[in-house]
């Protein structure tokens, strides 16, 4: 019977990290299904989902843990179900505004209060073209209950600050 593992990975950025992960997974009969990986501030970080036969999962988890000796920290968790997607719909959220401490907290509080599940979140801080002031930008993939009114979400987010621009698709 197949099972799924969700892995989180962090290491000092250097060539060969993905290759070492892929080799370890393959050597233990795992199948690399999906991943998100990035280099940030000199670190390599990633999250990935692996399919593997249940009887081989402990061997793979041990081998991934041993990568710590090579400077690659891997945490492996057994995956819960894929999640109930019945009676839900997915939305894409874009938020842009002047950057300030706490803006991610404020946005995430609105999402939690409205029972919005964050599937994927990307944030950045960039200099504005004309003023060079820091601008916060966020893109998020969201899952909401069927019948959810995205105008309520937009209104709640825009109420955080008059300088936030919100787009929901």
Q: In angstroms, rounded to a whole number, what is the distance separating the alpha carbons of residues 74 and 76?
A: 6
- Which ranges in the chain are annotated with CATH 3.30.70.260? 2-78, 88-168
> What superfamily does domain 2-78 belong to in CATH?
ACT domain (3.30.70.260)
Tokens 């819960």 belong to: 80
Q: Which helix (H) or strand (E) holds 110?
A: helix 103-113
Tell me the per-residue pLDDT of 96-117, one tens digit each, with 9 for 90 and over.
Answer: 999 999 999 999 999 999 999 9
Residue 93 CB neighbours (<10 A): 22
Buried b (16+ CB within 10 A) or exposed e, 27-37: ebebeeeeeee
Per-chain mean pLDDT for the chain = 94
pLDDT tops 70 at residue 84: no
- Tell me the pLDDT tens digit for each residue of 120-159: 999 999 998 888 889 999 999 999 999 999 999 999 999 9
Q: Residue 131: its pLDDT value, please?
A: 81
In this model, does residue 82 exceed pLDDT 60? no
3-state secondary structure of 57: helix
Say what the pLDDT of residue 81 is.
58
Residues 51-61: pLDDT tens digits? 999 999 999 99
Domain topology for 88-168: Alpha-Beta Plaits (3.30.70)
pLDDT tens-digit series, residues 35-45: 999 999 999 99
């Amino acid at each position: 019977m197949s099972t799924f593992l969700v892995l989180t990975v962090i290491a000092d950025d250097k060539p060969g990290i993905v290759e070492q992960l892929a080799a370890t997974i393959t050597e233990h009969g795992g199948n690399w299904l999906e991943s998100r990986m990035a280099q940030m501030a000199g670190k390599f970080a990633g999250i990935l989902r692996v399919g593997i036969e249940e009887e081989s999962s402990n061997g793979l988890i041990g081998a991934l843990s041993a990568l710590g000796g090579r400077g690659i920290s891997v945490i492996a968790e057994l995956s819960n179900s894929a999640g109930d997607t019945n009676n839900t719909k997915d939305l894409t959220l874009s938020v842009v505004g002047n950057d300030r401490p706490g803006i991610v907290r404020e946005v995430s509080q609105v999402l939690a209060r409205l029972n919005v599940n964050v599937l994927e979140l990307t944030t950045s801080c960039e200099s504005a073209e004309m003023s060079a002031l820091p601008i916060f930008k966020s893109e998020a993939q969201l899952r909401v209950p069927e019948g959810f009114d995205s105008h309520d979400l937009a209104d709640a987010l825009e109420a955080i600050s008059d300088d936030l621009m919100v787009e929901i698709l």
